[in-house]
Amino acid sequence: MAQKIWKNPYVRFILLGIFLSLIPSFADWGWIKFGTITTMSQMIFFGIAALGLNILLGYSGSISLGTAGFMGLGAYAAAYTLSNLNLNFTIGILLAIAIPTAFGLLVGLVSLRISGLYLAIATLCVSEILLETFRQATDITGGMSGKRTVYPSIFGYTFDRSSTFIFLVIILILIMILTHNLVSGHLGRAFNAMRGSEAAAQAMGVNLLKYRLIAFALATAYAGLAGALCAYYVRAVSPTQWSLNLSLLVLAAVVIGGFRSIFGSVLGAFVVWIVPDLYLKQLPIIGDNPALPYIFNGILIIVVIMFYPYGLVHVTHDIKKLWYKLVKGGGANG
């Protein structure tokens, strides 16, 4: 019975949410540093962006190098709504999702004509155009100085750092549940058919235009939401945050965690953003040089790709196999 409950993905999503929600309490109790909360928050909003990219890349088979640009678009939409229009947090989030989604639909239309490396370059160009717009449109974005935001406020209650972190956790778990429901149904089957063979998918009655647009819309909507959450938590938005490097890191998180895996996307975000700051920087010699933790993290990523090409999420399966082998072997020897 317990094993059946554990296999329920919703139970695991909720347990993950409960654990992450306890992190501010761990800091209050002195078990971890308060800076750890900020570091863990990166895993949350970049994990959401990685989930969107995994829908696009892992499930539907399309690629994008424009994640950072769409995240920046969502962040600036949220910041402008708050600081210039004096509108509430809910409207800011909705605009942060809607505006990148509109751009994603346009890119989805382009993806019908090009694919593979050419599509990657096209999305990279879109991201770079957005980045330059962030720098030059000073009346809207504040230019290189950026824009300031505040913690979210809902129904008259203004969050602080700890409550905002818990709010981020709730959003992450809801997004994980939503993603699971989407990819487990007809939409997921259509995406998998497209990824395998577009010609075969069309023969099966899959509308390529419809589902390609849905895939890009979801990926950019997730990115816009992640950017808005980042803006509200960090309380600042600047163009330097949304470079190509960020898009590559989100892509690395998907590859490391595992294609077509919801937990894998979050696990990949943990490896990319949390491991260097919380673990590698604490090691002797490595932690003394600011660049070495990221170099070793890069080596770790290469090792993972070499030995676990399907992602770290599959490590648990190997551990189980080894455990059963040891138990059965021990029982046989006994």
pLDDT tens digits along 103-161:
999 988 988 788 888 889 999 999 999 999 999 989 889 988 889 888 888 877 888 88
CB-based contact 127:244 (threshold 8 Å): yes
List, in sequence order, every beta strand (DSSP E) within 76-154.
147-148, 153-154
Q: What's the predicted TM-score (pTM) here?
A: 0.91
Tokens found for residue 249: 């890191």
pLDDT of residue 330: 53
Residue 280 has pLDDT above 80, yes or no: no
Among 330, 2, 21, 1, smallest CA distance to 173 is for: 21
Specify the pLDDT at position 311.
83
Query: What is the arithmetic mean of pLDDT over 235-255?
Result: 92
Q: What is the mean pLDDT of the chain?
A: 87
Q: Which of the four pLDDT bands, split at 50, 70 and 90, describes residue 334?
A: very low
pLDDT, tens only, 47-79: 999 999 999 998 998 889 999 999 999 999 999
CA–CA separation, 295 and 261 (whole Å) = 26
Tokens of 178: 């939503």
Token pair 């800076």: residue: 35
Task: Please state, in angstroms and as integers, the Cα–Cα distance from residue 143 to each residue in 16, 134, 140, 284, following that order.
Answer: 38, 6, 8, 40
Between 329 and 296, name the one with better pLDDT.
296
Q: What percent of the chain has pLDDT over 70?
A: 97
Q: What average pLDDT does the segment 92-98 reach?
A: 95
Enumerate the domain spans of the chain. Answer: 2-333
Tell me the mean pLDDT in the region 166-195: 93
Is residue 183 within 8 A of residue 82, CB to CB? The reply is no
Question: What Rg value do the Cα atoms of the chain yield, rounded?
Answer: 21
Q: Which of 42, 20, 238, 40 is nearest to 142 (CA)?
A: 238
Most confidently predicted of 21-25, 31-35, 195-199, 300-304: 21-25
Stated as kind and residue range, the H or E segment containing 158 is strand 157-158
Convert the pLDDT of each residue in 14-39 to its tens digit.
999 999 999 999 988 888 888 889 88
Token pair belonging to 120:
């990657």
Domain 2-333 CATH class label: mainly alpha
Residue 277: predicted pLDDT: 81
CA-CA-CA-CA torsion sign (71, 77, 83, 86): negative
